[in-house]
Structure 1
């Protein structure tokens, strides 16, 4: 009663084809398809970049615990001179 029937959709489709022509409709469909593909690719690239950023904590290399716990000999000498 309130919905659109198949016959009404067919009449609308025929009117659209008569107004725009099949060639222009085909071009619009291709443009729309390439736009959707580009959007999906951009979203996929964005997710990959986001995943790469979460894997790293910082841009510098981490030191091992042995390197950070034992200061080098020159550091000990320098610290002694500063304290005197």
Structure 2
């Protein structure tokens, strides 16, 4: 027995039928198109990983620059809005 219950002879017969149906030129073009698609997918995945790393670095840089600004009042604590503070003129 071969792979998954299919013998090598059955695989060869299937291959022969596929070659007879499509022809060698057509199979060659299908193979090259498939190879180009796989290469394109891999390059886009690696570009995606690089852009994810770049955006993470930019976010970290922005966060560090926001922490370094001493005059920025958005991060400083403000007095709570309590009833005692509202009654003051």
Assess same fold via TM > 0.5.
yes
Offset, 1:64: 8.8
> Post-superposition, which runs of at least 4 consecutive aligned residues in structure 1 deviate over 4 A?
none
Residue 56 (structure 1) shift? 1.8
Number of positions where the alignment pairs a residue of Structure 1 with one of Structure 2: 67
Q: State the TM-score, normalized to the length of structure 1.
A: 0.68
Give the aligned partner of residue 62 of structure 1.
Answer: 65
**Unaligned ranges ≥5, structure 1:** 70-84
Could you say if the C-alpha distance between residues 46 and 63 of structure 1 is closer, same or farther in structure 2, counting changes exceeding 3 Å?
Answer: closer
- Of structures 1 and 2, the one with the larger relative CO (CA 8 A, separation 6+) is 1
1:10 to 12, 16, 26: 12
Structure that is richer in helix per residue: 1
* 1:36 corresponds to which of 35, 38, 49: 38
Relative to structure 1, the CA distance from residue 19 to residue 64 in structure 2 (aligned partners, 3 Å threshold; closer, same or farther) is: closer
The alignment's C-alpha RMSD in Å is 2.6
